[in-house]
Amino acid sequence: MNKKCVRCGEVKSLKDFYKDKSTRDGLYSSCIICKTKWVKTYRNTERGYLTRLHIGMRREHQCYFTFEEFRAAFEKHKEKYGLKSAWGPGPDHLDQHLPITLITKLSGEGKITASNLSVDRLDSNLDYTLQNIIFIRSDENRRKNNSSYEDCKIQMRLHEERFIEMKVI
């Protein structure tokens, strides 16, 4: 049996469609190739990238905010830092902060992009709360295990802003 893809219009074998229990025929309306292209395009939008990050946080740990609150926090970050990492000497010295990208690679496409947006917990012993997260780069988040003195000073400054001065993003 065959089915016509609603995106590309080609008639293809049923094995060329993902399964979807919510549809009458049990298959997605678009073929695997078109669905994959659509997912990649969506994930490379800001909303798609943030959605993926939020879902990942909810899977790994307790996450005490909605997607809309998370998105609003990122908007506040962008107002303060632009598309640059919060990891650095502060918003008065943005020239020293590294740029952030939002590039999604599908499985099998290689390593994670080092400059990609990552959400870090200021205190790894606490769950994800708006007060405990900062938006940094993936390479900076991975580097945390080998933090230098300068990195620790940055983290302490951010920690004091959030927990002593009680500022939220």
Confidence of residue 46 (pLDDT cuts 50, 70, 90): very high
pLDDT average, residue stretch 95-110: 81
Q: Are 104 and 92 in contact (CB under 8 A)?
A: no
Kind of pairing between the strands at 133-137 and 117-121: antiparallel
Confidence of residue 62 (pLDDT cuts 50, 70, 90): confident
pLDDT average, residue stretch 92-112: 82
Q: Are 64 and 128 in contact (CB under 8 A)?
A: yes
Confidence of residue 146 (pLDDT cuts 50, 70, 90): low
**pLDDT of res. 88:** 87
**pLDDT of res. 145:** 65
**pLDDT of res. 150:** 77
DSSP state of 88: S
**pLDDT of res. 165:** 86
Whether residue 80 has pLDDT greater than 70:
yes
More confident residue, 41 or 13: 13
Whether residue 152 has pLDDT greater than 90:
no
Pick the CATH number of 44-164 from 2.60.40, 3.30.40, 1.10.10, 3.30.70: 3.30.40
Whether residue 107 has pLDDT greater than 70:
no
Give one DSSP letter per residue of 29-70, joined into a string. SS-HHHHHHHHHHHHTSHHHHHHHHHHHHHHHS-B-S-HHHH
Listed by start position, the domains of the chain span 2-33, 44-164
Confidence of residue 108 (pLDDT cuts 50, 70, 90): low
The reported pTM is 0.74
Whether residue 73 has pLDDT greater than 80:
yes
